[in-house]
């Protein structure tokens, strides 16, 4: 209840006038302003939800209750619904309580930032600078290819990546650890906001830990499919033959869990802002996928809902890390199949001005 009271200042008063936050709801504001207010409020709500889930994980409190008793997601959905129908809901904006937004929200690991106070940044305050003011800038160049060679290499890389597919059926055949180290090194070459490199790649090869990962994921995914995702979402996945049973989590020789670091820690315990941490980590994830495929391996970009806090606890990751992706990595099984899907043609994805 206290968490809900914390949200009260963000809402307008019942008479449609000025709310306790001092926002005049009758005042004409740009749509971008309403969207910003909505997004910040929902980030706050998501963070409160994550804190509740983490508390349950630490105390062994069950996610699944007896019939008639709301689980943690229902609680979160209740206040998310309140927010999404409030007076500052921008016309044409995406309802973060919808299945589309739920997929993004949970993939972000229900929050995107660390503690609630991390949302509020004093822009006049400067902690230790990331780099010295006199940081050296060194010459950089690359061999310039002829137009013909550039076309050839770009076409070859496209043809290689066009064979990439999301695979759910894995062989248990071993993959050298050095290969995994190399693909993670490659992912670490990704650009990031202010070169903060806000990512952690947790690599799991221990069978017992993989089994525990599978148990956590399957327990939550069953609830997701039966209660949380909604009929449309489940129907859209039906032809892909997905389910809450995730055998690949124990069959694949390696799991790579990609965490975004929502903030950094200075040696004295102070927090350092990580700019664009989600975008930066997502870019690293894309490079990781390319490196895995280039190494002759397959993977699946998994974003299991509601599993982040428990997996973070299992892997002893700090509170500033939020799960973004879970990737099984290995060889496809001899019986592996993939849906017969086609990719959009170039004219549908590229605009030339």
Q: Which residues contact 345 (CB under 8 A, 6 or more apart)?
A: none
The string over 302-311, giving b where at least 16 C-beta atoms fall within 10 Å of a residue's C-beta and e elsewhere, is: bbbbbbbbbb
Residue 33 phi/psi, 5-degree rounding, is -65, -45
- Between 194 and 27, residue with greater pLDDT: 194
Contact 337, 240 (CB under 8 A): no
pLDDT digits (tens, 9 = 90+) for 274-305: 999 999 999 999 999 999 999 999 999 998 88
pLDDT class for 43, splitting at 50, 70, 90? low
Q: Is the pLDDT of residue 165 over 80?
A: yes
Q: Is the pLDDT of residue 199 over 60?
A: yes
HEC assignment per residue over 168-210: CCECCCCCCHHHHHHHHHHHCCCCCHHHCCCEEEEEECCHHHH
Q: Which of 300, 278, 281, 280 is nearest to 289 (CA)?
A: 300
How many whole angstroms separate alpha carbon 123 and alpha carbon 145? 44
Lowest mean pLDDT among 86-90, 154-158, 208-212, 250-254: 86-90
**Average pLDDT of the residues of the chain:** 78
Q: Is the pLDDT of residue 16 over 70?
A: no
- CB burial of residue 140 (10 Å; 0-12, 13-18, 19+): exposed
How many whole angstroms separate alpha carbon 13 and alpha carbon 41? 16
- Between 34 and 269, residue with greater pLDDT: 269
Q: What pLDDT score was predicted for residue 30? A: 53
CA angle 248, 251, 254 (to 5 degrees): 90
Mean pLDDT of 8-18: 43
Q: What pLDDT score was predicted for residue 1? A: 44
Q: What pLDDT score was predicted for residue 193? A: 95
- Between 238 and 312, residue with greater pLDDT: 312
Q: What pLDDT score was predicted for residue 254? A: 99
Q: What pLDDT score was predicted for residue 25? A: 41
Residue with tokens 């229902």: 74
319 CB neighbour count, 10 Å cutoff:
14
pLDDT digits (tens, 9 = 90+) for 58-80: 555 454 444 444 444 444 444 44
Q: Is the pLDDT of residue 208 over 70?
A: yes
Bridge-based pairing state of the strands 199-204 and 254-261: antiparallel
pLDDT class for 237, splitting at 50, 70, 90? confident
pLDDT class for 130, splitting at 50, 70, 90? confident
Q: Which of 315, 284, 277, 280 is nearest to 301 (CA)?
A: 284
Mean pLDDT of 324-336: 98
Edge-to-edge order in the sheet of strand 298-299: 199-204, 254-261, 321-330, 298-299
Residue 290 parent element (H or E): helix 277-294
List the beta bridge partners of residue 263: 273
How many whole angstroms separate alpha carbon 263 and alpha carbon 281? 12
How many whole angstroms separate alpha carbon 233 and alpha carbon 99? 7
pLDDT class for 128, splitting at 50, 70, 90? confident
- For CA atoms 345, 346, 351, 353, give the dihedral sign: negative
- For CA atoms 225, 302, 54, 271, give the dihedral sign: negative
Lowest mean pLDDT among 97-106, 177-186, 229-238, 247-256: 97-106
Go through the domains of the chain in sequence order and give each one's CATH number: 2-122 (no CATH), 163-330 (3.40.109.10)
Mean pLDDT of 156-171: 97
Q: In terms of pTM, does the model score above 0.85?
A: no
pLDDT class for 119, splitting at 50, 70, 90? very low
Instruction: Give me the percent of the chain exceeding a pLDDT of 70.
Output: 64
Q: What pLDDT score was predicted for residue 8? A: 44
CA angle 200, 113, 254 (to 5 degrees): 25
Contact 244, 225 (CB under 8 A): yes
Q: What pLDDT score was predicted for residue 278? A: 95
Residue 7 phi/psi, 5-degree rounding, is -85, -15
Lowest mean pLDDT among 80-84, 143-147, 347-351: 80-84
42 CB neighbour count, 10 Å cutoff:
20
Q: What pLDDT score was predicted for residue 222? A: 85
Long-range contacts of 118-124 (CB under 8 A, 24+ apart): 118/262, 118/263, 118/271, 119/40, 119/43, 119/44, 119/47, 121/273
- Between 277 and 230, residue with greater pLDDT: 277
Lowest mean pLDDT among 51-60, 186-195, 246-255, 302-311: 51-60
Q: Is the pLDDT of residue 241 over 90?
A: no
Q: Give SS3 for 231.
A: helix
């Amino acid at each position: 209840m206290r968490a809900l009271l914390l949200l009260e200042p963000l809402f307008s008063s019942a008479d449609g006038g000025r709310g306790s936050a001092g926002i005049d709801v009758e005042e004409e504001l740009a749509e971008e302003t309403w969207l910003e207010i909505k997004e910040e409020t929902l980030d706050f709500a998501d963070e409160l939800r994550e804190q509740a889930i983490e508390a349950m994980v630490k105390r062994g409190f069950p996610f699944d209750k007896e019939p008639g008793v709301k689980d943690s997601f229902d609680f979160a959905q209740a206040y998310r619904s309140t927010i999404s129908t409030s007076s500052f809901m921008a016309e044409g904006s995406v309802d973060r309580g919808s299945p589309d937004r739920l997929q993004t929200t949970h993939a972000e690991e229900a929050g995107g930032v660390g503690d609630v106070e991390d949302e509020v940044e004093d822009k006049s305050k400067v902690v230790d600078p990331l780099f010295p003011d006199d940081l050296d800038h060194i010459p950089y160049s690359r061999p310039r290819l002829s137009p013909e060679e550039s076309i050839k290499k770009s076409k070859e890389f496209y043809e290689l990546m066009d064979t990439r597919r999301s695979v759910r059926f894995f062989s248990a055949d071993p993959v050298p650890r050095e290969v995994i180290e190399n693909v993670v090194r490659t992912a670490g070459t990704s650009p990031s906001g202010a070169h903060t490199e806000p990512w952690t790649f947790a690599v799991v090869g221990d069978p017992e830990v993989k089994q525990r990962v599978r148990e956590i994921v399957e327990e939550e995914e069953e609830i997701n499919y039966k209660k949380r995702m909604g009929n449309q979402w489940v129907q859209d996945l039906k032809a892909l033959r997905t389910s809450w049973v995730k055998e690949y989590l124990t069959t694949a020789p390696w799991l790579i869990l990609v965490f975004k670091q929502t903030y950094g820690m200075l040696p004295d315990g102070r927090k350092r802002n990580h700019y664009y941490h989600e975008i930066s980590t997502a870019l690293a994830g894309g490079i990781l996928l390319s490196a895995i495929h280039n190494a002759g391996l397959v993977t699946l970009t998994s974003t299991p809902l509601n599993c982040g806090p428990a997996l973070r606890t299992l892997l002893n990751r700090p509170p500033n890390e939020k799960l973004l992706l879970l990737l099984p990595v290995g060889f496809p099984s001899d019986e592996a199949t993939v849906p017969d899907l086609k990719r959009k043609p170039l004219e549908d994805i590229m605009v030339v001005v």
